[in-house]
Amino acid sequence: MKIAAKDAGVEALSILLEGPTAVAFVRGDQGAAAKAVLEAFRPHRMIKVTGAVIGDQVVNADGVTRLAQLPGRDVLLSQVAGAIAAPMANVAGLFDAPLREVAGLVQALADKQGAA
């Protein structure tokens, strides 16, 4: 595996290849993959995750655990979209507020004159 990693240009992986090792290759959401691997290993207390290589960076076991605790990619994207949309909705409400106040004042004036 070390030779294959070196030939593939992923020399960062060789740090994690000490002793008995299992390797999982993932395409797509790394957080979901980390969560699935940790869940699969949970019943087997003898198996430990020593780290991961994401892109060209080595992540230690704590980093893999933190990655697994993150929400999924879709959830994060929807949170970003919500964070972008919320200020726009507030601005629209601010622009709408003076119109509502004017309409309320006109209605109150009309009610006052109708009562008089």
pTM: 0.54
pLDDT for the residue 116: 63
d(CA 42, CA 104): 62
Length of the chain: 116
Burial 67-102 (b: 16+ CB within 10 A, else e): bbeeeeeeeeeeeeeeeeeeeeeeeeeeeeeeeeee
Residues 34/68, Cβ–Cβ less than 8 Å: yes
pLDDT for the residue 96: 75
pLDDT in 10s for each residue of the chain, 116 residues: 888 888 888 777 777 888 878 777 788 888 888 888 888 888 887 778 888 888 777 888 888 888 888 887 788 888 888 888 888 777 777 777 777 777 787 888 888 887 76
